[in-house]
Every structure is written in structure tokens, then in C-alpha cells.
Amino acid sequence: MGSGKLAYVALMWIVVVVGTAPIAEAILCPQITSMFSPCLNYLKGVGPLPAGCCNSFRSIVSAGGTTVDRQTVCNCLKSIAASTSGVKPKLFTGLPGACKVKIPFDINPSARCV
């Protein structure tokens, strides 16, 4: 096979491999807000801590795999804490402990999401 054909085949292989590689999906705030909904009654103090809340919270935290994703998760949780009517701040900031989930940031309206 000539060097020109070999280069062409190599280039086509790269195009196929790169073109079919899965693209990582960034987590978005509306997804986080939706996933967080099982926690809202507990955070407002009107119900017990449901298992679904902790499961959702674990999923949200584990979705923060990259720095950008962690910042998104942090900022969205911060927004939920600040904007959701009736949320009790102590329950909100205590959620990681209540769910036994370690997170690399604080969840409160004044958290620094870095």
C-alpha cells in the first residue's frame, strides 16, 4: 500500500473513531432541580427524610465528576437553598450528613463554588 493510501486510511480511521466517540453530557441546573425535588418536603420540615431524597442527592453529587460539573452542582444547590420558599437552612446544610454523603463543598446560599 502506498504511503498516500496509508495516510488516507489512517485519517479515515481517526475520523470514524473520533466521530463516534460518546460526548460527555454536562449536568444542567434544571436536571439538578428536578432530581432534588424528593427532598423538598423534608427540607421544609413537613416530612421525614425519604430514601428517595438521599438517593437523588447521591446521584447529584456523583454527577459532579469534573470541576465545571461540581461548580454547576454547587451553584444549583446554592440557588435552590436561596430561592425555594420555606426551606429551613439547618436542614438544607445538614442534608449531606443526614444522607451520609460526603461533598467537596458547602451547600448554603453563601457557598463559594470553586
pTM of structure: 0.72
In order along the chain (114 residues), what is the average pLDDT of each group of 10 residues? Answer: 50 41 66 95 96 95 89 92 92 96 85 85
For residue 105, the model assigns a pLDDT of: 86
For residues 65 and 61, give the distance between their C-alpha atoms in angstroms, rounded to a whole number: 8
For residue 114, the model assigns a pLDDT of: 82
For residue 60, the model assigns a pLDDT of: 93
- Helix %, strand %, coil % of the chain (to 5): 60, 0, 40
For residue 22, the model assigns a pLDDT of: 40
Structural domains for the chain = 28-114 (1.10.110.10)
For residue 26, the model assigns a pLDDT of: 73
